[in-house]
Amino acid sequence: MRMRSDLRLIPFFADLSDDVILAIEKYCRREHYSRGELVFAEGDFGDRMYIIQSGQVKVISEKNGSERIFSYLNPGNFFGETALLTGEPRNAGVRVVIDSDLISLGRQELQELIERYPNIAVEITRELSRRLTRQIQSPVQQEELNIVAVVGQQAPVLAEQIAKLTGEEVFLFDLGGLGNMPVDQTTLSQEGVQLARGGQNLTADELPARLSSLVQDYFWVILAIPLRPSLLTIKAIDLADVTIQLADAPERWLTQAVTRNFMVVKPEPKRIARLARKIARRQVGLALSSGGARGLAHIGVLEVFERERIPVDMLATASMGSIVGALYAAGASVDEMKQVAQLMQKQTNLLKGFSMWDIGLPPRSGLVRGTKTLDYFRKILQNKNFEDLELPLTVVACDVITGEEVQFDSGPIADAVRASISMIGIFEPPRIGDHFLIDGGTVNPVPTSILKDKRADVIVASSVIPGLSERMHRKEQLKTGKAPNVVAIVMGALEIMESEIIRQRAEAIDVMIQPDVAQFTISDFDRVEEIIQVGREAAQRALPQLRQLLAPQPRAKSYAA
């Protein structure tokens, strides 16, 4: 009798008559799987189909060692029927996301039921049609982080941020983590957060079914868990897609209890907002191009971003972009970056001291040794390592021997920046590890590919490298009858090469910001304010596109039918 009533609660069986339900009941078998277990693997022989009574599973392919997700299935959905009906091997695997109670049917039993009750075949056909439509619209999904366990009383702040970012309702389930802290439920509700307290009264065994129900109605479930371990807390961590401690340092028991996706984030508004973008997959990656003095336009771009509250969650940089990006990632304000630019104007000017350049006599692999430049970078970057930065930063350089791209995201920042700006023939290539390194612009002048690899969700590029057509105005220079000097020749050749690399490698860019820098040369460090201004203007032009991409885009919840 219990099996019969359970079957009636599953939408797949809801419209079937009592005699059909009675017949199905005789053939069904109950099975239970815990989170992470594989119900069956891709390529397995299929001898049973499954109906989800409670829990959640994902349909996956794990070929070539990486997981591709086709769909998430909730209570009322079924899976495994295709191999059962065709006799072919399983075309995908199924792994449990939330502890699941399944009802299974064998091949022979299903065939007998279909022969006796054709309505079952009709229901299967309807569901297959719906599933095919969903897969055509969204063939491969990213792993969802829709159940988030949070230790820390700022859990409501995180829930609010996710609701604002996505435009989707968030369910904040207090499992004792909020304690007696007063929470303004009206304000939370207005922001799209539904709060339920008293979750600490659940048992660990009751939690999976409760979560199974919640994920059908909400894309985001935040579990506010207490700082002390308990059976319920451990179960919540086990079922969560990600566990976060909002604190300065992790609790030891948490580091031992959490086996995947554990983050410790300081409970500061800016960091919580950045965390929300990471969870909601709305991270903004910014690539800053090479370009010599023209790269100062990146400062103008960042100034507009700051003023208009356009977030930046990660940076990838080359050459001059690495100087600006490293300063910004280290927490420098726009005004502080302008001050550095003004100092560079003086220190790269031959008549005013040329103090950043230590000329090598006789020159071997470059005119400038670069020791003074490295010392200068260490000073303005305060001898920081990548691990000390406010924002994740990747700096690009090129191995002059092998031609390979070399990426830096750990260790001393100044050394990486010094390597990334090493223009061919101007600076001696520094040796870092087994690499002799030159300008990152020679291999990846606008490194958006790195942001794609780092899983940025919105990729923005600021490029100050003029295309070949933009260089045509320089024909006016020929009328003077003066040949360009050796530095101008080297820089011009590098610029032509970079523009061609960009043309061939441009990929995965959501917004391209292109300051109008064709009037400037890469050595125009005496035109700081003019160059920064064209960066401001370009960023201002890009704002409508940026705002459209960052606006909430709520999804519609699909339900089993």
Flag whether 491 is in a domain: yes
User: pLDDT tens across 188-232, in order?
Assistant: 999 999 999 999 999 999 999 999 999 989 999 999 999 999 999
Q: Please give the Cα distance from 559 to 424 (Å, whole number).
A: 60
Is the domain of 186 the same as that of 220? yes
Flag whether 560 is in a domain: no
Given a contact cutoff of 8 angstroms between Cβ atoms, the answer to whether 347 and 374 are in contact is no
Is the domain of 101 the same as that of 161? no
Q: What does each C-alpha distance from 479 to 103, 235, 482, 524 come to in angstroms?
A: 84, 77, 8, 21
**What tokens were used for 553?**
């885009």
Is the domain of 260 the same as that of 320? no
Is the domain of 498 the same as that of 363? yes
Is the domain of 228 the same as that of 125? no
Q: What is the pLDDT of residue 82?
A: 80
Flag whether 238 is in a domain: yes
Last residue of a domain, one of 110, 137, 164: 137
User: Is the pLDDT reported for residue 26 higher than 90?
Assistant: no
Flag whether 315 is in a domain: yes
Last residue of a domain, one of 104, 137, 170: 137
Is the domain of 363 the same as that of 498? yes
| CATH for 6 | 2.60.120.10
Is the domain of 188 the same as that of 309? no
Q: How large is the average pLDDT for residues 242-270?
A: 92
User: For residue 394, how many C-alpha atoms fall within 13 Å in the half-sphere facing its CB?
Assistant: 22
Flag whether 17 is in a domain: yes
Flag whether 168 is in a domain: yes
Is the domain of 383 the same as that of 445? yes
Cis peptide before 515 (omega within 30 of 0): no
Q: What share of the chain is helix, strand, coil (3-state, %, to 5)?
A: 45, 20, 35
78-79 and 242-246: which strand pairing? unpaired
Active-site annotation, residues: 319, 439
Is the domain of 536 the same as that of 488? yes
Contacts of residue 71, defined as CB under 8 A and 6 or more positions apart, other chains included, come to: 58, 59, 131, 134, 135, 141
Q: Please give the Cα distance from 497 to 445 (Å, whole number).
A: 10
Flag whether 275 is in a domain: no
Q: Please give the Cα distance from 255 to 264 (Å, whole number).
A: 10
Domain extent, residue 370, equals 284-550
Nearest to 323 by CA among 356, 278, 366: 356
Flag whether 484 is in a domain: yes
User: pLDDT tens across 503-557, in order?
Assistant: 556 667 999 999 999 888 888 888 999 999 999 999 999 999 999 999 999 987 6
Angle at which helix 320-329 crosses helix 297-308, to 10 degrees, equals: 30
Is the domain of 380 the same as that of 493? yes
Given a contact cutoff of 8 angstroms between Cβ atoms, the answer to whether 365 and 425 are in contact is no
Q: How confident is the model at residue 424 (pLDDT cuts 50, 70, 90)?
A: confident
Other Cβ atoms less than 10 A from the Cβ of 351: the count is 6
Q: What is the pLDDT of residue 351?
A: 42
| CATH for 386 | 3.40.1090.10
Is the domain of 64 the same as that of 210? no
| CATH for 192 | 3.40.50.300
What is the full DSSP assignment across 101-165? Answer: EEEEEEHHHHHHHHHH-THHHHHHHHHHHHHHHHHHHSSSBPPP--EEEEESTTHHHHHHHHHHH
Given a contact cutoff of 8 angstroms between Cβ atoms, the answer to whether 54 and 75 are in contact is yes
Is the domain of 9 the same as that of 123? yes
Last residue of a domain, one of 82, 107, 137: 137
User: pLDDT tens across 353-379, in order?
Assistant: 455 666 665 566 667 777 888 999 999
Q: What is the pLDDT of residue 353?
A: 47
| Number of structural domains found in the chain | 3
Least confident of 149-153, 169-173, 283-287, 490-494: 490-494
